[in-house]
Each structure stands twice: as structure tokens, then as C-alpha cells.
Structure 1
């Protein structure tokens, strides 16, 4: 395995990126062939992403049961999503809902239904500008941005590729002050999430 150097003078291929030691690659993304470090992520940030992934998994399981497994969905956190291979660009969303695929197959944009990024002081510009543009260019249908506080998720902004066009269109924002329901959606399938499902503070 390759141990990644601190500086890079020319773009690399997707295969070269995958050859980087897995422990090092966990904190890296690749954009147009150039490897970039991921932003800092605190414990609450990580917890919110995990809670959201679990909530999406619950909705996915309910949909698979409803349809008799006619469709298969998975959720993941911090996994490489290949957006395009030339020049190689892959992001690691905080949470992702995608169609099932074999373990040997690379998760790529065409498999993905929803990507979500949890905003933080270090990530907001990257998530709102660079990643939003990349995900839209790759044709991922839904993009969510989540803000949080010490209690848990605070607001969820939802964006979509309206009519298959680019860039993303803002289709709604929910806030914890608006009521108990964080998400009540029908697209890509029924998703109902309560704010309490996205709490990270200890229950007292």
C-alpha cells in the first residue's frame, strides 16, 4: 500500500488513490486527481451523521418490506462515492442512501439516491459550494445539509435536481422549532423521521 505524501505535484488515477493505505485514505478525498484532506469533525458532528444514517436505514428497511424486496437499499457513512473516474473525483458524504450493490463493486454516483453533509465550522464552505456542485454534476438526485447543536440535528435543508437539471434547487428546510417531524417525504420513497431520532444529547 502507498503511504500518502504531504504534497502532490501532479494528478493521480483512481487506482492510485485506492492504493493509498486504507487508514490514511479514510481522511482523504480526491478531486480532479488531486488528493485533499477532509475537514475536522467533532464527536457531535459524527453522532448526528450516524443518527441520520440509522434513520434512513429504518425507512429503507420499511420500504423493502413494503415492496417485498422489489428494491434494495443500503445506507453508509463516510464511504468513498466515486463521482467520475476521469479525472478521478470521489467524495465521502457524512451519510448516504444508495441502491444495494455487491461488496466488490465500487459505490458510485449512479447508485446513490441521497447524500447528506453535516455542516460544521470547518466544512460549511466546502459543503455548500464545492460538494454541492460536485454532487449535482454527478447527477445525484437529492442533497441534504444538516446543522446541529449540542442536542442534535437542528435544521435540514433539502436540495434536488428538479427535472434532471443542474444545479440543485432548494426544495425545503425543516427546523426543530417547527414541530416533532424532521422529515416527512415521499421521494425517493416514504421517509418519516422525528427530531428525537436525530438527538445526540444523553437522555435524562
Structure 2
């Protein structure tokens, strides 16, 4: 076994903190911080995942209201020990070309497209953490025989937890966080028969 490179060693006994991510240029792209531990996205990304994220980005950009933006592959600093990187987010933050993260209060919607290596984190860990940070809307998108299925959650403020708001196949129409209408079948290419 080879020794770990120095940059992989936590800078303190307590582990990593959110601001440490900006000082790790050697870390692989899409490195997240979950409970003070670095999480690397090392497995190859599936074409389905990348295509869906791209098409969804375009579709949402066409529908977000003025003063709202769609961000892709940017971290959210939930607290000092958690800085996950969702596939997409919708934010009210002003554009800043040097920005490397968003505050939860600037995020209206977080979208995770589930991959085999991220399934547990997307379905349970991030679901809980985004809710605890007060992000009002969360979509978790699953691959169902090549078609996207969107599990929609809304924050229940009295409990601070997400409540299921629907499972969408084919089309998704929602009045919140903004008026959105998506033809889910057009987000992925048809399969050859």
C-alpha cells in the first residue's frame, strides 16, 4: 500500500472544515465534505446522468423567474463540517464569478441525480442535511429503466424535515419554488430498439 499524499491528511485532529475545500487544489473535482470527511466522486459518471443534468439545467434556466439562477456542481456550506455538492441548485444569490459555494439561505431548490455510488447519500444523508439547513425544496431523481423519476420533497418548517410532495413520471408540474413544468421524457434520449 502506498502512503497517502499530504493533501489528504486532515489539517487538524477534528478533521476537515468547510473552508478547507477551497485550499485543496489537488483534490479531485466534485469533492464534498460530509460530517468533516472528504467524499470523492471517483467512479466514472454515467452518460445518462450527465445528459439528464445538462438537459435539466437548460429546461430550468428557461423557467426560473428573474433574480433566480440555476447553478451546477457548486457546493453548499450547510455548516462548518458539511459542504455537499448537489448536481443542480436554484439560487437567489447574486452572480459572482469567483464564488465556490452557496449559503443555504440563498438556495431554494437542490437537485440530486442518483448514481450507484451516491444512492445512500442522496436518498438519506443529504435528504436530512439539506432539510436541517432549511433548504425549502429537494428533488431526488432516479433512473427507472432509462426514464427519470423525480421524488419531490418540501420542507415542513415545524418539524425541520422534508415531507414527500409527490413522485413524478412523464411530466412534472409544480407551483413551488416557482412555476415549473417539465416534460421528463424529453430530458433523456430515446433508447434504440
Q: Does the alignment reach a TM-score above 0.5?
A: yes
Match of residue 143, structure 2, among 148, 153, 157: 148
Q: 2:121 aligned to 119, 126, 140, which one?
A: 126
SS of corresponding position for 1:84: coil
2:165 matches 1:171: yes
What is the TM-score normalised by the length of structure 1? Answer: 0.79
The separation in 1 between residues aligned to 2:188 and 2:54, in whole angstroms, is 10
Structure 1: 5+ residue runs without aligned partners?
Answer: 65-71, 177-181
Say which structure is richer in helix: 1
- 1:32-71 equivalences in 2 (<5 Å): 32-38=35-41, 40=43, 41-60=45-64, 63-64=65-66
> Segments of 4+ in structure 1 off by > 3 A?
7-10, 149-152, 200-204
5+ long unaligned stretches in structure 2: none
What is the aligned-residue RMSD (CA, Å)?
A: 2.5
Measure, in 1, the Cα distance between the counterparts of 2:42 and 2:78. Answer: 19
Pairs aligned (count): 184
Matched, 1:189 2:192: no
Deviations 1:60-100 (A, max 9, x none): 1xx32xxxxxxx01112211111112xx3111101111113
- Separation of aligned partners in 1, 2:160 and 2:75: 23
Residue 112 to residue 164, structure 1, CA distance change in 2 (3 Å)? farther
Cα 1:133–1:54 shift into 2, 3 Å: same
- Seen in structure 2, the aligned counterparts of structure 1 residues 194 and 112 have a Cα distance that, compared at 3 Å, is same
Q: Does 1:116 align with 2:120?
A: no
* TM-score where L is the length of structure 2: 0.83
Correspondence for 1:78: 73
Once the two structures are TM-superposed, the CA of residue 3 in structure 1 deviates from its matched residue by 6.9
Q: Take 2:42 and 2:121, find their aligned partners in 1: how far apart are those partners?
A: 9
Work out the CA distance in 1 between the residues paired with 2:85 and 2:23: 17
